[in-house]
Amino acid sequence: MLAAFENPGVGGNIGKCYKTAESLVLLAKQCRSTKTVQQVHTQMVVNSIHNHHNHLLSKAIQVKNFTYASLIFSHMAPHPNDYAFNIMIRALTTTWHNYPLALTLFYRMKSLSVTPNNFTFPFFFLSCANLAEISHARVAHSLLFKVGLHSDPHSAHSLITAYARCDRPACARKVFDEIPQRDLVSWNSMIAGYAKAGCAREAVELFGEMGRRDGFEPDEMSLVSVLGACGELGDLELGSWVEGFVVERGMALNSFLGSALISMYAKCGDLGSARRIFDSMATRDVITWNAVISGYAQNGMADEAISLFHAMKDDSVKANKITLTAVLSACATIGALDLGKQIDEYASQRGFQHDIFVATALIDMYAKCGSLESAQRVFKEMPQKNEVSWNAMISALASHGKAKEALSLFQRMSDEGGGARPNDITFVGLLSACVHAGLVAEGHRLFDMMSTLFRLVPKIEHYSCMVDLLARAGHLYEAWDLIEEMPEKPDKVTLGALLGACRRNKNVDIGERVMRMILEVDPSNSGNYIISSKIYANLNMWEDSARMRLLMRQKVIYCDNKATIQIATNPSHS
């Protein structure tokens, strides 16, 4: 039948052969291209057949022609029915990923009094999930009750995903608990929801409950989700159990499951097992390569990550933006500027240079490799910037001693950031800039601004920057007051910096307080004992100086009276 379309010389005049609605609908179902769909459409118009546009719309979507599908949809009289709305919303969500337009069509559907049904809500909620639009998800959630679909499992599963992606795991769990009869998809949706919302512990606990409560055995989706949670928790025991389960059940180690195992082992620090899984896979796609390259890069093994990247190219697997981001991170770690420049050029050739994650990784790489101008160029050329991009550039300026420029960029972020809001990391970069430049007053202002203007609770990193800033300026009592206010004990680096400042300023009072805390945090570091001893010696407090050196000898052993130090674990060394 299609021969008349594909070859006009076959079958004569199409207009003469196919005039009935039934024959044209049958013909439409066989179309495989936009051209043939348009020819059927033309014959429907010529023969005044107007009530079968759903078939044309379905075919236009099937051949993935958004413009033509939109044209058919917009000319449906008097307006599209529920079927037309549903397939358009589904296509916008799953094929064209135009989530804002999917939401718009949902509200247009409501305005035309076309009732959404169990084919509408799942894809609407998925669009909400991808946009992290909590307000729209809540509106549709309430509508579920009005149309009697609050118990529909498919809608509930997508709603769980939406709430989890919107960082509302408690709302997702409430929906899960209210499903009358949970199936494996219900459990998988909630476990994945917890994992995506950063609730790794809850994901692992629910995974354990799945078999005990409802007797379901995990499938590939369950395992991939729980492996992600194991990686976040560093739960090597459960992760290894999952691998054993996969082997025992004879499950195929495909790209998704294999990559999840590789990532889990890498995040748990077991790169040997990660590499073993990678090497055992019969086929390796870009997802698999990305998992192993990222694993090595995240564990500080930059040379191995770069070597794997070259092996990936030799295997004729094309890199994507995730690959480039991981390799750029490795380049930044070892200062591989030349390779970083090659990645920059490759990204431009492949159209990745404006991807927000690749561009941010380029900024970080150039800054850490000493090429601040290149970092600024990449930042300037970015069409869109998020918090991570602004933070990377602020931190780059701070690390290069450009405090004034870092503060100026922060002001730009506040004024024209396009929705990018300063966060914890922003202020770590800004306070670091103040430390390098000795800007005590500006540091105080920024530290106060965190809580008063941006409602951010200062973390140990912010306190550490402020202690370092005050210590360098000689404000030792104020620095100590901040240490006592810290939400947790400071690390040895912060205490060591303050102790060094006490020595420079000959402040025994604060020095003794710091040393007492150091004995709790880092008792085996001989350098701190030497600094304390010198503080006393500089003030002619010889007995205290000798006492500190004796205490040091009780804690550590010197080899050749030089730098090699061991913790004294044998009583005979005391």
**For residue 561, what pLDDT is reported?**
41
Question: Model-level pTM?
Answer: 0.81
Please list, in sequence order, all residues whose beta carbon lies within 8 angstroms of the beta carbon of residue 243, skipping any fewer than 6 positions away: 261, 277
- Amino acid at residue number 558: Y
Are the CB atoms for 59 and 91 separated by under 8 Å?
A: no
CA-to-CA distance for 291 and 277, rounded, in angstroms? 11
DSSP state for residue 382 in the 8-state scheme:
-
**For residue 524, what pLDDT is reported?**
57
- How many Å is the Cα radius of gyration of the chain? 31
- Three-state secondary structure call for residue 393: helix
Q: Where are the beta strands (DSSP E) in 342-478?
A: none
Are the CB atoms for 114 and 82 separated by under 8 Å?
A: yes
Token duo for residue 358: 């690749």
CA-to-CA distance for 60 and 185, rounded, in angstroms? 31
CA-to-CA distance for 417 and 373, rounded, in angstroms? 21
DSSP state for residue 318 in the 8-state scheme:
P
**For residue 573, what pLDDT is reported?**
39
3-state secondary structure 9-50: CCCCCHHHHCCCHHHHHHHHHCCCCHHHHHHHHHHHHHCCCC
CA-to-CA distance for 203 and 206, rounded, in angstroms? 5
**For residue 281, what pLDDT is reported?**
96
CA-to-CA distance for 383 and 375, rounded, in angstroms? 15
Residue 440 to residues 25, 196, 391, 443, 470: CA-CA distances in angstroms? 77, 40, 21, 5, 7
**For residue 441, what pLDDT is reported?**
97
CA-to-CA distance for 327 and 239, rounded, in angstroms? 26
Phi and psi of 388, rounded to 5°?
-65, -40
Q: Choose among 428, 425, 430, 388: nearest CA to 409.
A: 430
**For residue 228, what pLDDT is reported?**
98
Q: Choose among 95, 50, 49, 51: nearest CA to 69.
A: 95
Here the contacts of 37-42 (C-beta below 8 Å, separation 24 or greater) are 37/63, 37/65, 37/68, 38/68, 39/5, 39/14, 40/5, 41/72
| Chain centroid to CA 449 | 27
Are the CB atoms for 232 and 260 separated by under 8 Å?
A: no
Per-residue exposure over 405-431, b if at least 16 CB sit within 10 Å of its own CB, e if not: bbbebbeebeeebeebebeebbbbbbb
Q: Which residue has the tokens 């805390």?
A: 517
Q: Average pLDDT of each block of 10 consecutive residues along the chain (574 residues)?
A: 42 48 79 88 79 88 95 92 98 97 98 97 98 96 96 96 96 96 96 96 97 93 98 98 97 96 98 98 97 98 97 96 98 97 95 94 98 98 94 97 97 86 96 96 97 94 95 95 90 83 85 78 62 59 59 50 39 38
Strand-pair partners of 407:
none
Q: Which residue has the tokens 């075919």?
A: 59
- Three-state secondary structure call for residue 559: strand
Residue 104 to residues 45, 101, 110, 468, 565: CA-CA distances in angstroms? 29, 5, 10, 52, 67
Are the CB atoms for 182 and 176 separated by under 8 Å?
A: yes
Q: Which residue has the tokens 């991808």?
A: 130
Burial bucket for residue 265 (CB in 10 Å: 0-12, 13-18, 19+): buried
Q: HSE-up of 107 (CA within 13 Å, CB side)?
A: 9
CA-to-CA distance for 413 and 418, rounded, in angstroms? 8
Token duo for residue 26: 């049958």
Phi and psi of 556, rounded to 5°?
-135, 165
